[in-house]
Amino acid sequence: MHRDDLFLEFVRVVERAAIAAARTMGQGDRKYADQVAVDAMRKEMESVDIDGTIVIGEGERDEAPMLYIGERLGRNEAGTAAIDIAVDPLEGTNLCAINEPNAITVLAASERGGLLHAPDLYMEKLMVGPGARGAIELDAPVADNLAAIARSLGLRVAELVVVVLDRPRHERLIGEIREAGAHVRRISDGDLCAGISCAVAGSGVHAVMGSGGAPEGVLAAAALRCLGGEIQARLVVSSQEHERRCRAMGIEDLRRIYRASDLAPGREILFAATGVTDGHLLRGVRRFGSGARTCSLLLQNRAQRARFIDSLHVDETDDDAVVQLRF
């Protein structure tokens, strides 16, 4: 890709989706919140100078009118870079609808073939930050993984905080984490945001365990590639229909354990996310009289840095607001 301008273009896309989604915050309608974010992201992508293809999106063409897997995006002019794009226009639709922390808008990009085409199934996941990379095994007993993570981080197991989605399917897992002596933080939604957090120093999160969406797994892998963290993951294939959908996407080994470099194998990875509701990692959208302020995270696997971008957006027609911002 080698195009620094794409960075800011992608930030603009996630910012616009976040500002749009934030207008629905707390209104209790998750579908509408998602639709608004999808519309805004789709519209903003039209002006980006790429030949993009959605590989992780809102679903297959017949179930998603926009941002469906396989949809072409961008200006698509001759000679522009061919790029694969993974989006979650609103990660945490429920969190936005009820105005709870950590709803974000997300986009990852890579050269063609740089992001796994994954069906929208569940995925077992184990995510850690750079300090515990290489220490985990998806199939190892929970207590062994926790001991290995603690050892790698120079902590005691009793000091570890593990995030788990609050679902009945995770009751046994939560029991095992507690029995091993670590602390559980249950979250109602948003394992992607949690996965990013465990790779950010000082976030207070040391690992994420349990099953969640596969699209969120691929997006987390893209972020973790940039942050030096790790994910181990396996698709949950529990019916013939699941098998069919995997094979349709070229996945033959249904029991395969994927690592970050399998889910997001690209040479170049860009990752951008903007906060919608206030969260541990990113502040949410704050509206002022004639505009909005956003906080975004921008990652690139080749750069040894994470950028937090604080932007003020002024509504186009309001000249007074432009004057205010000059101070």
User: Which residues bind to ligand FBP, rule: CB under 6 A?
Assistant: 90-94, 165, 167, 189-192, 212-213, 216
Distance CA 287, CA 314 (A): 10
Rounded to the nearest whole angstrom, what is the least distance from the CB of residue 212 to ligand FBP in the complex? 3
CB atoms within 10 A of CB 308: 11
Q: Which is nearer to ligand FBP, 24 or 93 (CB)?
A: 93
Rounded to the nearest whole angstrom, what is the least distance from the CB of residue 111 to ligand FBP in the complex? 26
Q: Which is nearer to ligand FBP, 48 or 104 (CB)?
A: 104
Rounded to the nearest whole angstrom, what is the least distance from the CB of residue 91 to ligand FBP in the complex? 5
Distance CA 126, CA 140 (A): 11
* E strand map for the chain: 51-56, 72-73, 82-91, 104-111, 122-128, 161-165, 183-187, 207-213, 230-235, 258-259, 269-275, 286-288, 291-300, 306-314
Q: Please, what's the b/e burial string for 159-193 (b: 16 or more CB within 10 A of its CB; e: otherwise)?
A: ebbbbbbeeeebeebbebbeebebebeebebbbbb
Distance CA 182, CA 174 (A): 10
Distance CA 73, CA 43 (A): 10
Rounded to the nearest whole angstrom, what is the least distance from the CB of residue 239 to ligand FBP in the complex? 16
Q: Which is nearer to ligand FBP, 100 or 191 (CB)?
A: 191
Name the residue with the smallest CB distance to ligand FBP: 212
Q: Which is nearer to ligand FBP, 23 or 307 (CB)?
A: 23
| H and E: helices and strands count for the chain | 10, 14
Q: Which is nearer to ligand FBP, 44 or 216 (CB)?
A: 216
Q: Which is nearer to ligand FBP, 40 or 90 (CB)?
A: 90
Q: Which is nearer to ligand FBP, 80 or 99 (CB)?
A: 99
Per the CB < 8 A criterion, the answer to whether 123 and 235 are in contact is yes
Q: Which is nearer to ligand FBP, 135 or 164 (CB)?
A: 164
Rounded to the nearest whole angstrom, what is the least distance from the CB of residue 264 to ligand FBP in the complex? 16
Instruction: Kindly state the helix (H) or strand (E) to which residue 153 belongs, with its residue range.
Output: helix 142-153
Rounded to the nearest whole angstrom, what is the least distance from the CB of residue 142 to ligand FBP in the complex? 19
Rounded to the nearest whole angstrom, what is the least distance from the CB of residue 96 to ligand FBP in the complex? 8
Rounded to the nearest whole angstrom, what is the least distance from the CB of residue 23 to ligand FBP in the complex? 17
Residue corresponding to tokens 């429920």? 94
